[in-house]
């Protein structure tokens, strides 16, 4: 009788646990080339969209962030049904839990591949999303704004999940850097990267497939295997010193501003037996080219001497990055007649502040607008306590 009771309890307990959701959700991933053949022995990294997950997998006690495809081009990953931080505090392990992720595949003689966005949602988020889908409503979650088509999100469930990652042959970018007189600029460092729009402090914490080049004696730089999606460029000194990026030609179109966000056209993104190429030219100034000036007076109309003038610039119009709104500052002081004049590295200014003892004054751009170079007179008044 005791033996029968023991068997009954074992079956009862087993069935009880069987009804509980699994601790992990699994996803089977298949990596192929543009020719449709399996990509074997390919290194794949899982990239989290949060600051605490970016770049994990290189330290000890991290698990589930790095993979290599088998002879069929497959690998399996798992995502915990837990908050990554809570799990780490309890176990000491850094494993992927709830959140938004991408798989990034690296391959020689290729630009690599990026998966659809992986959404591992908690039960409440998953139920809410399912409800909206049943009602044929479109619901965006944080980080999905740019994911369309081949990058549409993959929402994990407790059932088997599967995605495919395609390695892209990519395209090339040929560029040249010259100064305002047309002379080549050599030795300038250029960085190219794609952006996963990670939730980092800068808004660009998830850069992938970075490449670096240095302009040669003729000012030329060159990148190969560029992933055929929107990519970004940066000059080493484009914010705090010469050369100042002031003009750009992408393909055949000139723009009188920094044009560091480039989106390939459809015919440049399609697979081809020959290498597609985008051509560009960057014009830089060796001296800060844009002048802002004016006069500072008090409420009585009298000139204010030795007042500190601070000018905050944006590299882009409209502002696009965290740095546009926070990082680019130029400072000067008014002379004995209250006049100021300063040259800055960008013609897109969003605010001018004046400080004179306990008096303050400002001239701000309207929302979503920037202040062109020119004259800005500012009146200061006692600061409010």
Residue 60 tokens read as 């000890």
For every residue of 298-358, DSSP letters joined together read -TTS-B-TT-EEEEEEESSSS--SHHHHHTEEEEEE--TTSEEEEEES-SEEEEEEEEETT
Q: Which of 236, 244, 227, 235 is nearest to 278 (CA)?
A: 227
The tens digit of pLDDT for each residue in 18-38 reads: 445 679 999 999 999 988 999
List the single range of 42-51, 174-183, 194-203, 328-337 with lowest mean pLDDT: 194-203
> What are the φ/ψ torsions at residue 11 (nearest 5 degrees)?
-65, -40
Q: Read off the pTM.
A: 0.76
Residue 89 tokens read as 């505090």
The answer to whether 167 and 32 have CB atoms below 8 angstroms apart is yes
The 3-state DSSP class for residue 227 equals coil
**Between 115 and 54, the higher pLDDT residue:** 115
The predicted structure's pLDDT at residue 337: 97
The H or E element spanning position 91 is helix 84-91
Angle (CA) 363 364 366, round 5°:
135
Q: Distance between CA atoms of 92 and 33, rounded to whole angstroms?
A: 37
The predicted structure's pLDDT at residue 90: 93
Angle (CA) 88 91 97, round 5°:
45
Q: Which of 212, 219, 233, 222 is nearest to 283 (CA)?
A: 219
Residue 135 tokens read as 């009602």
> What are the φ/ψ torsions at residue 325 (nearest 5 degrees)?
-100, -5
Angle (CA) 316 317 320, round 5°:
60
Q: Read off the pLDDT of each residue in 9-16 and give the average, rounded to a whole number.
A: 42
Neighbours of 268 (CB within 10 A): 16
The predicted structure's pLDDT at residue 13: 39
The tens digit of pLDDT for each residue in 85-130 reads: 899 899 988 899 998 888 999 988 788 998 988 899 998 888 887 7
The predicted structure's pLDDT at residue 142: 46
Q: Which of 116, 105, 112 is nearest to 44 (CA)?
A: 105
The tens digit of pLDDT for each residue in 176-230 reads: 999 999 999 999 999 998 876 654 444 444 577 889 999 999 999 999 999 888 8
Q: Distance between CA atoms of 332 and 340, rounded to whole angstroms?
A: 7
């Amino acid at each position: 009788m005791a033996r029968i009771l023991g068997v009954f309890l074992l079956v009862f307990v087993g069935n009880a646990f069987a009804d509980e959701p699994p601790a992990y959700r699994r996803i089977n991933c298949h990596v192929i080339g543009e020719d449709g053949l399996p990509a074997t022995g390919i290194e794949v990294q899982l990239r989290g969209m949060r600051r605490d997950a970016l770049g994990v997998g290189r330290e000890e006690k991290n698990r589930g962030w790095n993979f290599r495809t088998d002879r069929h081009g497959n690998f399996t990953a798992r995502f915990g049904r837990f908050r990554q931080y809570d799990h780490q505090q309890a176990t000491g392990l850094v494993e992927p839990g709830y959140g938004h992720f991408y798989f990034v595949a690296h391959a020689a003689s290729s630009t690599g591949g990026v998966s659809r966005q992986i959404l591992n949602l908690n039960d409440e988020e998953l139920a809410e999303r399912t409800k909206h889908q049943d009602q044929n409503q479109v619901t965006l979650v944080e980080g999905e704004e740019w994911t369309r088509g081949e990058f549409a999100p993959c929402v994990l469930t407790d059932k088997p999940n599967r995605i495919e990652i395609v390695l892209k042959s990519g395209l090339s970018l040929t560029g040249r850097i010259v100064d305002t007189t047309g002379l080549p600029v050599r030795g300038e460092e250029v960085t190219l990267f794609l952006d996963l729009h990670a939730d980092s402090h800068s808004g660009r914490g998830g850069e992938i497939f970075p490449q670096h080049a240095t302009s040669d004696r003729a000012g030329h730089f060159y990148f190969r295997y560029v992933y055929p999606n929107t990519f970004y460029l940066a000059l080493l000194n484009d914010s705090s010193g010469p050369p100042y990026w002031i003009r750009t030609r992408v393909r055949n179109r000139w723009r009188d501003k920094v044009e560091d966000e480039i989106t390939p056209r459809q015919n440049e993104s399609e697979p081809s037996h020959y290498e597609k190429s985008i051509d560009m030219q960057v014009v830089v100034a060796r001296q800060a080219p844009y002048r802002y000036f004016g006069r500072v007076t008090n409420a009585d109309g009298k000139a204010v001497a030795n007042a500190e003038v601070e000018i905050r610039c944006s590299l882009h119009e409209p502002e696009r990055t965290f740095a546009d709104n926070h990082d680019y500052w130029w400072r000067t002081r008014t002379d004995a007649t209250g006049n100021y004049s300063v040259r800055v590295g960008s013609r897109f200014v969003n605010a001018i502040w004046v400080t004179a003892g306990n008096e303050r004054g400002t001239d701000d751009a309207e929302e979503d607008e920037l202040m062109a170079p020119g004259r800005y007179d500012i009146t200061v008044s006692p600061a409010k306590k």
